Structure formats: C-alpha cells, structure tokens
C-alpha cells in the first residue's frame, strides 16, 4: 500500500510510519521540519523500543507532498490546530480512491478533514500507543496498545478492511469499530 503520514517526523507519525515501512509498504513521512526530513533521509528513522532495541528503519521523508504523488492512504498525525493546513497541503497526494485517516488526539478533526476532502474519504481512528520525539529522526516507543479504526459514516467498507489488514501485517494491533466516534469520546474521557 502506498501511504503518506502527515506529521511523519513526529513521535506517533514516526512510529506508525516506521512500522508500516518495515512491513513493506511504500511509505513517505511528510513533515514541515527540515531537520526531521534531513535526519530521516540521511540516517533512517530510529525507534527506541520498550525492550531496549533500537531498529533503524529506512523510510522516505519529505516536506513536499507534490513530490510524493497520489497515495492509497494518508494518515494524519499533526496537532489538531494544524489539521486544515496539513490536509490542504496534502491535496497533490489525493486521488480518486485515496482515504484519509485521522489518528489524532482530540475531538473535531474528522469533520475538519471531511470539509476539505469529503466525508466519503474519511476514516477515523484512535490509538493507545505512546511515543516521544527524542530528536529529529529518533523516537521512543514506550508502550503499545490497541488501535481502533472505523469509517466516519459508521458502516464497514472493503477499504477499511484493507487498512486494518495492512496495520495488522505491520504488527500494529488494530480492530474495526462501527461506532468509532464513541471510541474517540471514551479516550477523551480518560
């Protein structure tokens, strides 16, 4: 699967992007930080795991979405106040079948994305993985947990199944939710 990660130079974007790239997907980490893009392209992405291992994953990074071209999936990990700008900048990567998945913390990101790309493109998720950015191109992954993904409209689709299968193949424990907005509220309540 061809995947772009918005906020890919950050902790969570790096962890998910690194795992997906390591599993053989064509992944590009998109980030506005020139230091992050340079570090990842020059040295790879290092993920410090809870068990002490520090794999270095070769993955592309860019601050130019137009250079990536159309993708199958865009995963949005930017801070909520950058959502609209990031999704608008991602326009060159959006083709007829591109899905946009928000794995951001907080409430209201999916409607913001839908107002730009259309509700039919939007997947919503949340994750209980944790991450810390240590330096450009270096993230700490202190703990993992379940990731929930669903269609914004609630009904399961073939593309949702493909995304879940892709995440599972990348060793990201993932489950489908037909009531994903309820799951987001549960996490907010925590």
| Cα–Cα distance, 44 to 139 (Å, whole number) | 11
| Cα–Cα distance, 151 to 136 (Å, whole number) | 33
- Can you read off the two tokens belonging to residue 129? 């993985």
Active site amino acids: 187
| Cα–Cα distance, 165 to 160 (Å, whole number) | 9
Q: Of 156, 138, 152, nearest to 183 (Cα)?
A: 152
């Amino acid at each position: 699967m061809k995947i772009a990660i918005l906020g890919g130079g950050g902790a969570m974007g790096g962890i998910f992007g690194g795992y997906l790239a390591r599993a053989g997907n064509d992944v590009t980490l998109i980030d506005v930080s020139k230091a992050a893009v340079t570090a990842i392209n020059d040295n790879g992405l290092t993920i410090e795991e809870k068990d002490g291992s520090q794999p270095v994953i070769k993955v592309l990074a860019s601050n130019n979405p137009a250079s990536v071209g159309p993708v199958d999936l865009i995963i949005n990990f930017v801070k909520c106040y950058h959502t609209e700008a990031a999704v608008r900048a991602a326009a060159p990567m959006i083709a007829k079948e591109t899905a946009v998945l928000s794995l951001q913390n907080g409430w209201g990101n999916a409607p913001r994305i839908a107002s730009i790309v259309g509700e039919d493109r939007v997947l919503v998720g949340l994750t209980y993985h944790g991450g810390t950015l240590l330096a450009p191109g270096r993230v700490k992954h202190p703990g993992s947990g379940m990731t929930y993904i669903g269609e914004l409209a609630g009904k399961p689709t073939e593309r949702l199944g493909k995304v879940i299968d892709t995440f599972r193949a990348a060793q990201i424990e993932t489950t489908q939710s037909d009531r994903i907005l309820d799951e987001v509220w549960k996490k907010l309540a925590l």
